[in-house]
Amino acid sequence: MTPASHLATSDELHNGLAALPGWEPHEGVLRRVFHFPSYSATLAFVNAVAALAEEQDHHPEMLFGYDRCEVRWSSHNVGGISQNDFVCAQLVEKVPR
């Protein structure tokens, strides 16, 4: 079974969130808001997450402005948060900021 093949159980949500401080479930997505000192720093982060998403073939929704970026992971094929979303969120945590 691939990580995205099922909706995360309540135990998987609890364990996944425990390993990802700052991330939260909200209306079927796993999200976190990141803050930056400048627009160029925000764009560098957005581009790094976009590259990561291409490598993973799993693409988040990103909303960004001058000094912030909200990253939202969900797996549309299961209708919410999957284990794959947690894997990708962990990879985002490794992106320099």
Residue 1: the pLDDT is: 38
Domain boundaries, the chain: 3-93
**The two structure tokens encoding residue 18:** 């425990």
First-residue to last-residue Cα distance in the chain: 33
Please write the tens of the pLDDT for every residue from 40-61: 999 999 999 999 999 999 999 9
- Phi first, then psi, for residue 82 (nearest 5°) are -120, 175
Record the pTM.
Answer: 0.92
Question: The tokens 């764009």 sit on which residue?
Answer: 43
What is the percentage of the chain residues whose pLDDT exceeds 70? 95
What CATH superfamily classification does 3-93 receive? Transcriptional coactivator/pterin dehydratase (3.30.1360.20)
Q: Kind and range of the H or E element at 26? A: strand 24-26
Please write the tens of the pLDDT for every residue from 20-46: 999 999 999 999 999 999 999 999 999
